[in-house]
Amino acid sequence: MIEETLWDAYCSTVLTFTDDERNHHKLVPTPGQSGKWLNGSEINEVFIISAANPYSEKLSDDANAKFERQMIQELVKAKARYRHCVGQSPDGRWKERSLMVFDAPLQPIKALGERYLQNAIFRWTPHSWECLSIVSDQHFVTGWQLH
């Protein structure tokens, strides 16, 4: 079970990324809302996963980059489509390099999270933003907005 304070931090995670047109976006968990879905994209869901900071223990940027490169090799081997992003606390104090993985099956993404000692992954759909624990049955669902 993820301790309550840490789980609350996961559930308030904000996502920043740059799209194909180099526009910067910030996804903010927002109860009862759903924003415009990726410019009319045909993508059904996006998983957000990180290889950084195993079990939320802060590592150096070099160590996190090394784990991310290893994870990318696994995604490329699986022919998964991905994009770089950053998961962060709402105040920006905690930032974690992450990857958005498009339309992949849930179980392989969870297994990847387990291999990289992650507590949770995120799922983003046209109607929800979810935090799914890998180490317990905790699951948080809310709406979202893009800024």
**Would you say 6 and 56 are in contact if contact means Cβ atoms under 8 Å apart?**
yes
Tell me the pLDDT tens digit for each residue of 27-62: 999 998 777 776 667 788 999 999 999 999 999 999
How distant, in Å, are the alpha carbons of 26, 130, 140 from that of 126?
15, 11, 16
Q: 41 or 103: whose pLDDT is higher?
A: 103
124 closest CA partner among 98, 105, 139, 102: 102
Q: Taking the complete model, does pTM exceed 0.85, yes or no?
A: yes
Distance between CA atoms of residues 132 and 147, nearest Å: 23
Strand order in the sheet with 144-146: 139-142, 129-133, 120-124, 46-49, 95-102, 81-88, 14-18, 24-29, 144-146
Cβ contacts of 32 within 8 Å, gap of 6 or more: 143
Tell me the pLDDT tens digit for each residue of 107-142: 999 999 999 999 999 999 999 999 999 999 999 999
Total domains, the chain: 1
Distance between CA atoms of residues 64 and 116, nearest Å: 11
Domain with 130, as residue range(s), is 4-146
